[in-house]
Chain A
Amino acid sequence: MSKETMEYDVVIVGGGPSGLSTAIKLKQLDSNLNVCLLEKASEIGAHILSGNVFETRALDELIPNWKELNSPIKTRVSKEKFLFLSKSKSFSWPTWLLPSVQQNHNNYIISLANLCRWLAEQAEKLGVEIFPGFPASEILYNEDGSVRGVATQDMGIDKEGNKKESFEPGIELLGKVTVFAEGCRGHLGKQLIRKFELDKGKDPQQYGIGFKEIWEIDEKNYEEGLVMHTAGWPLDNNTYGGSFMYHAENKQVFLGYVIGLDYKNPHLSPFDEFQRFKTHPAIKKIIEGGKRISYGARALIEGGYQSLPKMFMPGALLIGCDAGTLNMPKIKGSHTAMKSGIIAAETINEHLNSQKELSTFEEKFKNSWLYEELFKARNVKPSFSWGLILGIIFTGIDQILFRGKLPFTLKHKHADHETLKPANEMPKIEYPKPDNIITFDKTSSVYLTGTNHTDNQPVHLQLKDPNLPISYTLDKFDEPAQRYCPAGVYEIQKENNVNKFVINSQNCIHCKTCDIKEPSQNINWVTPEGGGGPKYGNM
């Protein structure tokens, strides 16, 4: 059955900072353009999760008078701390000794979800049509192979793939240009990178998994505007990661942890590392007496410049972290995502109104501060493959002495799914039981995300080989999906002494970690029915 079609000048997939910036900039440049934006979450912002210390540079360019428009950017960074943690002690590192990219005094502590909601309001005022609850599930191509648009997901399909009474077919959205802005590891972006070989000659992409909890803390421990980062415990010298703690408005603290997905030990559980981290005296004393009100997790890009794929292709652009514009040493991706969206809009406007090729994106990108930023930052993350201590020493030389201008580029050698060592060669890790005060289990955490997927729909976590988890991955890697999934989606259950791989897909918080880390790339994340997934508030 052919689907109904709707035609636009520009179709944007994803309502995060990059997609919304493209939409806004397009309408500013030419208010006659027909622009629509699809978002898989039930509302804009509901799938957004980020630290977030926000650098306003891109927003200053996009909406210079944002301060007058009641934007949710209120808490200026007032104080910074950087701590190295050992098991029970903490050592403060003077912030003036930090590379300038890690200094935040001109930045703001924000909720990126709220910023996206506000950007969506601005976009709608300019006439952008925003459709939350409609995941783009399929890429449409012209006969010449160029991108023609996307199709939205069919709604009302049961587990076996049959149409339910409520069946509602998807729609084909055709754009003269389609912009993919799905965020890190977008499932359409992944297909485009493969089809158009956008990553040819680039290093394999690097990812991390980021956790975030929001705590309402005791007045006496609260210092609005305080930004604190830590490195060290509970991770060992060879695992890349660290924490953030941002004192936002209303006595809320954004507490989070990021772990590089290039970790080697299959027994490692990123979720439990984060929980354990909170028991450190330097952290516990701040959140003790407070209350955890939100939880979430999301994969993020860490590859930077070396891993950044080509961002244009016939008929389409790939922007933000769908490509990978996050600046890792800065621990910031919002301003870079927005800038890539602005450049995309400028390129598209010239393409539609002055017949310039979409490939001019490349030149615009290379002449922008975004490129300069990513280029300078390029050697930091790979240097940490030598361990935390050498990484810090190198980063000091690279970032403070040479300001990112060393005449060579370090390589990312492996994709994250290739780094796990066999389970029997690596030490097991005993994690302490949650106390339900400071530390929690996955079930009670997922509960806070408001996650729901309509039951009786096809499982959106597809196994290429359904037997592999038991026949291979369990034996060799002790099935790490049980541990790397931050929502407890994957379980090994014993039934009559036979192991069974269970996928609780209704718990999925759309972080994409499984799609990245599964050692055989056996798990494929596809879009569930629209509106499914977490319902994050001010994450």
Chain B
Amino acid sequence: MKILVAVKRVIDYNVQIRVKEDGSGIVTDNVKMSTNPPDDNAIEEAVKIKEAGKATEVVAISVGEEKAQETVRKALAVGADRGILVKAEGTVEPLAVSKILQKIVEKEKPDLVFMGKQAIDDDCNQTGQMLAALLNWPQATFASKIKVKEKSLEVTREIDEGLETIEVNVPAIVTCDLRLNEPRYASLPNIMKAKKKQIEQINASDLGIDTKPRIDQIKVEEPPKRKAGIKVASVEELVQKLKNEAKVI
């Protein structure tokens, strides 16, 4: 079984996001970038399945600018066998990413495609679902547990009501939740080895995919500032303020 894992380069989750002064987007210059956190879970799970002898190859793929190579390299350092970078400039929307992944799937013929449930930058949560539709494959989203069977997967999903367990036939798309596993650290020797692993570079345009954004972004702004709180001396004062000033009771 061959697993393709999609990883995205995003602003590191510890970095405080800053909106550009003119509201045209967010500041990305000199900002620490990392792998989208649930994508780390996706890679970890694929590598674990391979280590358990149930997969033969793990291929990491990213779509984005040249620097997204670092994200692929990170995936190689934690156990992916080889990498693919599909180069595209600027914002690439989920539909374009899924179309690119569709082309790669047709070429690579994996049995499973893993990715994070959503990216922490645009929070779209669409790529896995769209890819499933384009390929007409079954999908298991928000996976917090994956059991590999003969020709299917048993997947436990994190849903609003609790946990839902479903079975999907292979080939399938799985989008991974943060609870799926604890991603390993890349060790120094493995980082060294990863430097020698191959990353194939393809231009999005060569795949015949137009990555031009379809959404017009009108404005980006910061959420309104929270006002400073006050301390009240007594319950009476609190009740009185809630009644007369906040007018909530």
Question: Which of A's residues lie within 8 Å of B, judged by CB?
Answer: 4, 6, 42-43, 46, 111, 113-114, 117, 129, 131, 134, 152, 155-156, 164-166, 168, 171, 173, 216, 293, 436, 447-448, 450-452, 530, 535, 537-538
Contacts and interface: CB of A to CB of B under 8 A. Distances in A.
A538 B32 CA distance: 10
Contacts of B16: 447-448, 450
Nearest to A167: B185
Q: Which 6 pairs across A and B sit closest by C-beta, in order of nearness?
A: A537-B30, A168-B185, A452-B14, A538-B30, A155-B185, A450-B14
B21 A535 contact: no
Q: Which of B32, B184, B188, B192 has the most CB of A within 10 A?
A: B188
Contacts of B217: none
Contacts, number: 57
Contacts of B29: 537-538
A382 B50 CA distance: 64
Interface in B184-241: 184-185, 187-189, 191-192, 228
B22 interface: no
Nearest to A43: B32
Given A114-B30, A293-B18, A450-B12, A171 B189 contact: yes
B18 to A, nearest CB: 6
A249 to B, nearest CB: 11
A537 B31 contact: yes
A42 B192 contact: no
B30 A535 contact: no
B32 A46 contact: yes
B14 A451 contact: yes
Contacts of B248: none
A450 B32 contact: yes
Given A450-B12, A450-B14, A535-B14, 18 more contacts: A6-B189, A42-B32, A42-B34, A129-B192, A152-B188, A156-B185, A166-B183, A166-B184, A168-B184, A168-B185, A216-B21, A436-B228, A447-B16, A450-B15, A530-B185, A535-B12, A537-B15, A537-B29
Contacts of B31: 537
Q: Which of B15, B30, B34, B189 has the most CB of A within 10 A?
A: B30
A480 B162 CA distance: 49
A4 B189 contact: yes
Contacts of B18: 293
A152 B32 CA distance: 23
Interface string B5-37: 000000010111010010000000111101000
Interface in B84-141: none
A501 to B, nearest CB: 26
Contact of B188 (A113, A114, A171, A450): A171
How many B residues touch the partner, as a band? 20 to 34
Given A293-B18, A535-B12, A535-B15, A131 B32 contact: no
B150 interface: no
A200 to B, nearest CB: 35
A4 B29 CA distance: 37
Contacts of A43: 32
B160 interface: no
B245 interface: no
Contacts of B182: 164-166
Given A216-B21, A450-B16, A451-B14, A166 B32 contact: no
30 contacts: A6-B189, A6-B192, A42-B32, A111-B30, A113-B30, A117-B30, A129-B192, A131-B191, A165-B182, A166-B182, A166-B183, A168-B184, A171-B188, A171-B189, A216-B21, A293-B18, A448-B16, A450-B12, A450-B14, A450-B15, A450-B32, A451-B14, A452-B14, A530-B185, A535-B15, A535-B32, A537-B29, A537-B30, A537-B32, A538-B29
B185 A166 contact: yes
A42 B30 contact: no
A387 B228 CA distance: 41
A412 to B, nearest CB: 37
Contacts of A156: 185
Contacts of A293: 18
Nearest to B184: A166
Contacts of B192: 6, 129
Contact of A168 (B12, B15, B187): B187
A119 B215 CA distance: 38
A43 B228 CA distance: 35
B32 A171 contact: no
A450 B13 CA distance: 9
Nearest to B15: A450
Q: Which of B15, B34, B191, B192 has the most CB of A within 10 A?
A: B15
